[in-house]
Amino acid sequence: MSWSTILRLDGDADDSEIKQNHDALFFEPSDRANVFQGGVEVDPVAGWPFIWARIKDRTLTFHSLRVHEDGSY
């Protein structure tokens, strides 16, 4: 899955500096039907997100969980 995000840095729709980010996630099938795990093993406690996806009916949903410095998520 890949996507681009465009951010207006000052919030002015008519005259704003724009920043564009590109990101990609890679998924692998899991041992469960219609459930996919992020292709890279990560440590959520170290600040890396735990990512997975699933397909239900005709909808693909992505989930991402990140643990913050204070232990909250």
pLDDT tens, per residue, the chain with 73 residues: 898 998 887 766 677 788 899 988 889 999 999 999 987 767 888 878 888 999 999 999 999 888 888 989 8
The number of domains in the chain is: 1
CA pair distance 16, 8, nearest whole angstrom = 6
Would you say residue 7 lies in a domain? Answer: no
Would you say residue 53 lies in a domain? Answer: yes
Would you say residue 12 lies in a domain? Answer: no
| Main-chain phi, psi angles of 53, to 5 degrees | -140, 160
Q: What is the pTM of this model?
A: 0.67
| Main-chain phi, psi angles of 44, to 5 degrees | -60, -30
Q: Hey, which bits of 1-73 come out as E strands?
A: 2-8, 18-24, 27-29, 35-38, 50-56, 59-65
CA distances from 42 to 20, 39, 51, 61, 71 (A): 26, 9, 9, 20, 16
Would you say residue 2 lies in a domain? Answer: no
